[in-house]
Amino acid sequence: MNKGMLIVVSGPSGVGKGTVLSKVFESDNNLAYSVSCTTRKPREGETDGVHYRFLTEKEFLENIAQNRMLEYTVYCDNYYGTDAQYVEKLRESGTDVVLEIETNGALNIISKCPDAVTVFIAPPSLEHLYLRLSGRATESRDVIEKRFIKAKEELARIDNYEYLVINDSVEKAAEDILAVLRAERIKKYNKNNFRGVLL
């Protein structure tokens, strides 16, 4: 069995990563979403263990100390990170795993796991992104401004990613990611599987 791929998806807050990825997950049944750990408070409608594992700062720091994080970062005053064992188990079972993470974490993954597939989702324009961020009723003005500044920093890192997907239409952005997955699977798995046929 082939080991599952690691797919890193980044994009600024408010770009619509969640909506695009839900569409991708609807159409691809060999894909798992890596549920991250965070010290951020749950937003309305978020469930522990589904959207995130919501931890206290003490718990998060213990995880770091015990080397349990594949990567982690501080983003807008909260810790976010990926549980290494959780991701490894999924990959060992042949499932491709999507990490929806910000750019610092992505850069760490790129240096630790050079075979990771990296995708950046960008908005059609900065203005578009600001309107989306400020339209979110869940965040205070202060948080919106912080996230917008962060978004501009993240957009400056696009060149570290292999693929850029523009979210001017959710359907098209999802199709682009599905196309990336298909091409990467052909690239990574076909030769391996074919060698098996020749034996």
User: What are the residues binding ligand 5GP (CB under 6 A)?
Assistant: 13, 36, 40, 71, 73, 75, 80-82, 100-102, 104-105
Cβ closest to ligand 5GP, residue 4 vs residue 12: 12
Min dist CB 172 to ligand 5GP, Å, is 21
Cβ closest to ligand 5GP, residue 139 vs residue 185: 139
* Cβ atoms 193, 2 nearer than 8 A: yes
Min dist CB 143 to ligand 5GP, Å, is 9
Question: Residue 16: CA atoms inside 13 Å, Cβ hemisphere, count?
Answer: 23
Min dist CB 185 to ligand 5GP, Å, is 23
How many CB atoms within 10 Å of residue 15? 26
* Cβ atoms 2, 94 nearer than 8 A: yes
Cβ closest to ligand 5GP, residue 77 vs residue 115: 77
Cβ closest to ligand 5GP, residue 102 vs residue 184: 102
C-alpha radius of gyration, the chain, whole number = 17
Min dist CB 81 to ligand 5GP, Å, is 5
Q: Can you read off the two tokens belonging to residue 178?
A: 């599905």
DSSP structure class, residue 113: -
Cβ closest to ligand 5GP, residue 113 vs residue 189: 113
Min dist CB 184 to ligand 5GP, Å, is 20
